[in-house]
Amino acid sequence: MAEVIVEFRGVGYRVEGQEILRNITFSVKRGEYLALLGPNGAGKTTLLRILLGLIRPSQGEVRVFGKPPWHLSRAERSRIGYVPQLAEIDLDFPIRVYDVVMMGRYGRLGYLRRPGPEDHRAVERALALMGIQDLARRRLRALSGGQRQRVFIARALASEPELLVLDEPTTSLDTAMAEGLYELLDQLQQELNLTIILVSHDVGVVAERVDTVACLAGELVTHGRPQEVLDQATLECMYGREALVFGHSPVPHMLVPPHSHEKKQHRPKTEESSDA
């Protein structure tokens, strides 16, 4: 049986008396590719922040590599690669692509240590995996959205992680760029045997690629293989009855009218403007 490397047990989170998450229980095994799905305000980014040890749950337990994430050492944290939303990046900071990717080695380097040959080799490997060696000397702000996202995935890979966590990696990308990024993640997961947690609200496209889905709407609506748990009832629970489900494949595609999910009153509001 595959090792469980991420586990949530009855996790809840409140802020200023507002319930953001309640009773979240599921696990992620080594080598698994999981999509965390849900509409804006579902609590996906909050759950990621708990997983990364940035905030602590109000109730329940979290284990990453067998420990609460806030108890992981610097070396243990380097086993997690994190790719934030592009919206969180300050593009006014003048920095080269190579230096951005080198940041992925800081967890292994520790304080006041200069990168050595091993660190430079790891950066070169990460650039090669993402096919962006030719961009190494360019400034980050000079790149397209798709190129920048590849840079940030390369930064996460530079630490040689076992777990890769991506928060809405296709935000601001056009359809062709998003499809290329998903194909690249498929390749990385297979070649490197990565465990991947991907946050998205792109139900149809993502669910056809991943092993499992965990669907959030403040609580865990469902968890399992996409073709077994993604049905009309599940999608309506997350997105409302306005959601239109269509398609003939085992995994349904879905159209949601703009802002239709915001009409639902039973789902708690969050403090996260970027949580999608």
Domain of 207: which CATH number? 3.40.50.300
Section 254-261 average pLDDT: 46
Looking at this protein, which amino acid is placed at residue 92? D
- Domain hosting 99: range is 92-161
pLDDT in tens, 138-180: 998 899 888 988 999 999 999 999 999 999 888 878 888 888 8
Q: Is residue 134 part of a domain?
A: yes
For 21-76, the pLDDT digits (tens) are 999 999 999 999 999 998 888 899 999 999 999 999 999 999 999 999 999 998 88
Q: What is the per-residue pLDDT for 267?
A: 42
Instruction: Tell me, yes or no, whether 211 and 110 share the same domain.
Output: no
Tokens for 187, please give them. 């390749």
What percentage of the chain has pLDDT greater than the value 90? 50
Which one-letter DSSP state was computed for residue 218? S
169 & 225 share domain: yes
Q: For residue 188, what is the enclosing H or E element? A: helix 175-192
Same domain membership, residue 5 and residue 73: yes
Q: Do 253 and 171 lie in a common domain? A: yes
Let me know: does 86 contact 172? Beta carbons within 8 Å: yes
pTM, to two decimals = 0.83
Model pLDDT, residue 107 = 80
| Residue whose tokens read 């995935």 | 153
Q: Which amino acid is at 265?
A: Q
Helix/strand/coil (H, E, C) string of 112-159?
A: CCCCCHHHHHHHHHHHHHCCCHHHCCCEHHHCCHHHHHHHHHHHHHHC
**What local confidence, expressed as pLDDT, does residue 122 receive?**
96
Residue 266: what pLDDT?
40
Do residues 180 and 266 both lie within one domain? yes
Is residue 52 located within the same domain as residue 148?
no
Do 100 and 212 lie in one domain? The reply is no
CA distance 218 to 211: 22
Please tell me the distance from the alpha carbon of residue 16 to that of residue 199, in angstroms, as a whole number.
25
Domain's final residue, options 161, 189, 206: 161
d(CA 154, CA 143) in angstroms, rounded, equals 14
Number of domains comprising the chain: 2
Say if residue 64 is in the same domain as residue 175. yes
